[in-house]
Structure formats: structure tokens, C-alpha cells
Amino acid sequence: MKIAFMGTPTFAIPALKKIDQTFKIDTIYTQPPRKSKRGMKELISPVNEISNQLKLDVRTPYNLIDDLDFFKSKSFNLAVVAAYGQIIPEIFLKECLFINIHASMLPRWRGAAPIQRSLMNKDKSTGISIMKIEKELDSGPVLLTQGLPLTIYSKHGDIENKLSKIGSELVVKAIKKINDNNYKFVEQNHNLKTYAKKISKEDEEIIWNLEAETIIAKIHALSPNPGSYFYYNHDKLKIFECKLTEKKSDKPGCVHIKNERLFIACKDKYVEVLEIQKSGKNRQKAKEFLKGYKFY
């Protein structure tokens, strides 16, 4: 099979490696280099970096449609997409079969931030769906799925790593089925669809007047990036890890310190903060943070 692979972040790397080891990838598509924060140099994507190491042909069009002639000339049998970062133009979908490694159990959580939304919603599980790409976002029929259990203590970074590995194994199974012409895509139940919109700045702020479990789930859903924050005496503080306590809380947002441990009141109970960061400083365990920061 002549395979194109389209992906950009670290999430896509296990699948890239697994597919190339098993079938060989002809061409990689990834997002173009971006300026570093200080603009001193251009940073290539994680997929671009690993593709260079593997000596794979890499293409980085700013707009995929500009590369249509090249794509047509290759006569690909299959294109595998994993968090590429661009919508695939409909005209490309006519050239070969496109499949996507999507980080949810479709039709639940179509869209840009399925892992974070699943965690923030306190879902009991998530998973990977290998689906056919069609014109409408994440609406195509599904070939394979595999689930993964979740709790309010599941962190986005950890779940993303687990799902990327599951996705790499599952997509190889899918390609083998396609290669053997022994596969069947199953239509999604579109009546059950939900959408995982991109995380916004408003999503990152902690609202203490909510149930403790909801706050814990949100904090872990945004850990390690971008992190959930609240303001205390005009200081922006981010929390990356916390846990539920059984103690009934006072007024939401009240801070309580006991035995070098940090507790913050929610609507119903306290959460104990385990890892925290002041803006411009390094992340710290709460005990260390309290040595240099005073809550009044």
C-alpha cells in the first residue's frame, strides 16, 4: 500500500512509527514550522522532527489545497490522519480512502478537544475510534474502537499518552483489514453526537462555587497544559493536581492551611491542592509552595 500520514503533535508519533514499521509510509504531511515565543527561531512540529530522524519525505503546506497536484500524482491507496490540525478539503477525499485516529468513542465528543471535554464532563470512559473521514466533522463511519476507563483523577497528559498508544495499535489493525479487503465501516448514530469545542481561556478559570468533584475533574482535564487557574490577592495561581476531602466546606474559595497542607473550599467540600504554580514561577508541591507564599 502507498500510505500518506497526516499528523502534527506528539499524540501522532506512536501511530506514525507503528505504521512505518509495519507498512512503510510514503509521505508525511504536518503543520509548517512556527515561530518560538520570542521569535528567535522556527520550531518544527514533533511529527516533522521524528520524520526527519526516520528519513521520511515531509511536506508542510500552510494550506493543504496548495498541495493537491502533488497528492494526486502520488496515487495513494490510503491516508491516515492523527491530529493533523487542518480540515481535509473534500476534493482530497476523492483521491483515496482517508481514515482518522480520533480520541473518543464516536459519536461522542466529535471535534477539537475530545480528551479534555470527556474529562471535564466526568465521563467514566473514553477511547479511540478509527473512522472514515467524510465532509462533516468526525461524522464518518467507524471501523474499530477501543475504550479506556476514566476517573476524576485522570490527567489529560496521562490519558493522551495512553490513547496515542492504543491508537497506534488499533490503526495498524485497521490498515491490515483494509489491505486484506476484510473490513466494514459502521455508520455512527448521529442522534447521539456531542461536540468537544476547543478549550478557551474561560474554560481554564476555576469557579469555586461548584461541586468539588467537578472542580477536580476540570483541573486534571487541563493538566499539564494549559493548567487551571484562580486569582488570589491579584496573583494568578495554577493548580495541576488535587484531591477530594470529606470535610464540609466554608464559603467557596476560602483557603485553609493545616499541617503544611493547602485546602480550598468548593460548594460542598474542600479540595486539597497537591501541585500549584504562581505565574512566572516553577510548579511546586503544595508543601514547598507554602514555604514561600503567604495566604492571608
Q: What are phi and psi of 20, to 5 degrees?
A: -65, -35
**Residue 41 pLDDT:** 83
Percent of the chain topping pLDDT 70: 99
pTM for the model: 0.95
Q: What is the pLDDT of residues 127-178, one digit of tens each?
A: 999 999 999 999 999 999 999 999 999 999 999 999 999 999 999 999 999 9
Lowest mean pLDDT among 58-67, 123-132, 243-252: 243-252
Q: Is 80's pLDDT higher than 90?
A: yes
Asked if 144 and 170 count as a contact pair (C-beta separation under 8 A), the reply is yes
> What is the number of helices (H) and of strands (E) in the chain?
9, 17
**Residue 49 pLDDT:** 97
**Residue 247 pLDDT:** 87
Q: Please, what are the domains in the chain?
A: 3-196 (3.40.50.170), 201-292 (3.10.25.10)
**Residue 248 pLDDT:** 87
Q: Is 32's pLDDT higher than 70?
A: yes
Percent of the chain topping pLDDT 90: 95
Q: Is 35's pLDDT higher than 90?
A: no
Q: Is 22's pLDDT higher than 90?
A: yes
Asked if 219 and 243 count as a contact pair (C-beta separation under 8 A), the reply is no
Q: Is 252's pLDDT higher than 70?
A: yes
Long-range pairs for 57-62 at CB < 8 Å and ≥24 separation?
Answer: 57/26, 57/27, 57/28, 58/27, 58/28, 58/29, 58/30, 59/27, 59/28, 59/29, 59/30, 60/29, 60/30, 60/31, 60/32, 60/33, 61/29, 61/32, 62/32
**Residue 250 pLDDT:** 82
Helix, strand, coil shares, percent, the chain, to 5 = 30, 30, 40
**Residue 200 pLDDT:** 95
Asked if 264 and 208 count as a contact pair (C-beta separation under 8 A), the reply is yes
**Residue 39 pLDDT:** 66
Long-range pairs for 56-62 at CB < 8 Å and ≥24 separation?
Answer: 56/20, 56/25, 56/27, 56/28, 57/26, 57/27, 57/28, 58/27, 58/28, 58/29, 58/30, 59/27, 59/28, 59/29, 59/30, 60/29, 60/30, 60/31, 60/32, 60/33, 61/29, 61/32, 62/32
Across the chain, what does the average pLDDT equal? 96
Residue 228, all three cell numbers? 487551571
Q: What is the pLDDT of residues 163-218, one digit of tens each?
A: 999 999 999 999 999 999 999 999 999 999 999 999 999 999 999 999 999 999 99
